[in-house]
Structure 1
Amino acid sequence: MCAIHQPNLFPRLSTVAKLYAADRWVVLDDVQFARRDYQHRARLAALDEPARQQWLTLPTRLPHGRPTPIDQARLAEPGRSRRTVSLLTRQYYGGSRYWPAVRDVLDAVLDQFEDTDRVSDVAKASTVALLTALGWSGEVLRSSAIPTRVGRSERLADLAAATSSTHYLCGTGGWRYLDTQAFDGHGIQVLSFHTPVDTGDPLWRWARHISSLWALSRIGPEALAAMLAAQRDHRPMEGFT
């Protein structure tokens, strides 16, 4: 089972849920960086008042202007960004009873600022740290290391095929453009993946809006892992139509 997704800084629960359901994550890091997306920013929410939110943003410079690929975007102020990530995360979630688990995720990200100025490395590390806290032990690869065709659907199909995947998890955003014929040529089945909607559970209610750091801080890694496992195992994913 393969999921292909851009590197996101402290990704939303909807993204983590999709990656958790997969056996491997191909980090889509060779597509154009988008300032309005989540590669360099995350929306933090107050522990007891999730409607109160604040953007955590890493100032980013694009060496090649707007067409700069994600893996070539650079931190504009690494030292300042490191301090901001540390201070804001502690401010929002330091009072949680599950702070030790959140701190482990935070520390893994802070270490990246010492070794790299690539935004994609920091974002990838934040996602891997979250998945690791939840007990996920899948494979992580970078799309920039895998030759593919140019078209969007063709690129995704080639990435899935290169990783010997038999199934591709397609999120709600992919429904708008995906051409499943590109996958048919590789014998790969496309499955639609979505998180629950119209639910009274506040964790799922905010899943597409705020960083999953909030969910981790609210219920802790064991309960959150159990919730994601139940979503994966008891809500069968459907073939793409």
Structure 2
Amino acid sequence: MSYIAIHQPNFIPWIGYFHKISLSDTFVFLDDVQYSKGDFHNRNSIDSKNGKIYLTVPIRSNNSYERINKKQICYMRDWKSRHLKTLFYNYNQAPNFPEVYQLICSVYNQDHEFLYELNIDLIKKLLIYLKIDTQLISSSELNIDSNRTDKLVDICKILEGKYYIFGSGSSYLETAKFTENKLNLIPQNFVEPIYQRVNHLGSKNLSILDYVFNTDKYLIKESFLEDRMRIREKQLEFIT
């Protein structure tokens, strides 16, 4: 049995993104689809001492219909220093600040030409930190020409997946196409956890950075593993 999850390579995504990765055997970065301006491809939010704020990576103003993996980062202003100063100011009293901040700095010290490269590097570093060893691949490596649901189905078929894990924002899925191809749909069913924070303003849907700065990484992995086991046990019960 092979569990597949697919998502665009977003910028320091929320914790639910990493939860989905942990549930899957193979996670696919959907990098060869159209870039969506105003989405989370180049920005995400953190908690500050005054409430939710956004960290944004500036993008060169090229063709608005370009694919995600063609979007280049703009370095006309020093956004990296601004991001790091913002993180330091708002999280330097958090319990895991030194280790997580060093991790982020190690990626920011590189000059990535393309946005998706920066995003994937940050995600991979955080996965290593959380000790999540799901296989990772980019959809552009698979050379699939189909679109929308057909593309997701084709990815699952090429990777010999049997189960496709989908999140709450997947209302666009044409579920019949999965059934026709003998692919089982598994809902992620993720509930954002409540946790102690250095900033106590209660903002929701933040970047995972807020969570890892404040929460023990072993507790995070233990929670993810419990959900992973639960999904697999449920499917085995269904089969038998």
Same fold flag (TM > 0.5): yes
**Where does residue 42 of structure 1 map in the other structure?**
44
Conserved in 2, the CA contact under 8 Å of 1:25 and 1:139? yes
CA contact 1:2–1:23 (8 Å) conserved in 2: yes
Aligned counterpart, 2:167? 171
Task: Tell me the distance in 2 between the aligned counterparts of 1:62 and 1:139.
Answer: 33
Output the CA distance in 2 between the equivalents of 1:131 and 1:234. Answer: 21
**Equivalent residue runs for 1:1-241 within 5 Å:** 1-46=3-48, 52-64=51-63, 66-77=64-75, 80-111=78-109, 113-114=110-111, 116-174=112-170, 176-196=171-191, 201-202=194-195, 209-234=205-230
Aligned-pair distance for 1:101? 3.0
Q: Which amino acid aligns with 1:22?
A: S
Partners of 2:203 and 2:167 in 1: CA distance: 13
Distance 1:73-1:208 versus aligned 2 partners, 3 A rule: farther
Residue-pair matches, total: 228
Give the AA of the match of 1:134: L
| Equivalent residues of 1:78, 1:117 under 8 A apart | no
The CA deviation at 1:118 is 0.4
Q: Supply the AA of the counterpart residue of 2:147.
A: G
Q: Give deviations 1:179-206, integer Å, cap 9, x for gaps.
A: 2232234432111112127x7x248xx7
The residue type equivalent to 2:51 in the other structure is: R
> What is the alpha-carbon distance in structure 1 between the residues aligned to residue 190 and residue 137 of structure 2?
24
Unaligned runs of 5+ in 1: none
Q: Is residue 31–residue 116 contact of structure 2 (8 Å, CA) maintained in 1?
A: yes
Structure of greater Rg: 2
Q: What is the RMSD of the two structures over their aligned residues, measured on CA atoms?
A: 2.5
Change over 3 Å in CA distance of 1:101–1:226 after alignment to 2: farther
Q: Which amino acid aligns with 1:61?
A: R
Q: Does the CA contact (< 8 Å) of 2:14 and 2:208 recur in 1?
A: yes
Distance 1:228 1:94 in 2: 26
What is the deviation of 1:85?
Answer: 2.7
CA contact (8 A) 1:13 1:207 kept: no
Return the alpha-carbon distance in structure 2 between the equivalents of residues 224 and 78 of structure 1.
Answer: 37
Structure 2 CA distance for aligned equivalents of residues 162 and 84 of structure 1: 42
Q: 1:235 to 1:165 in 2, by over 3 A?
A: closer
Structure 2 segments unaligned to the other structure (5+ residues):
197-201, 236-240
1:180–1:149 distance in 2 versus 1, CA, 3 Å: farther
Cα distance in 2, alignment partners of residues 142 and 15 from structure 1: 16
Q: Deviations over 1:205-228 (max 9, x none)?
A: x79610111111111211221222
Percent sequence identity over matched residues? 19
Q: Is the 8 A contact 1:192 1:237 kept in 2?
A: no
Encode CA deviations 1:82-135: one digit per residue, 9 max, x unaligned: 222322222222222212331243034214x32x21011111111121121111
The whole-number CA distance in structure 2 between the counterparts of 1:62 and 1:238 is 47
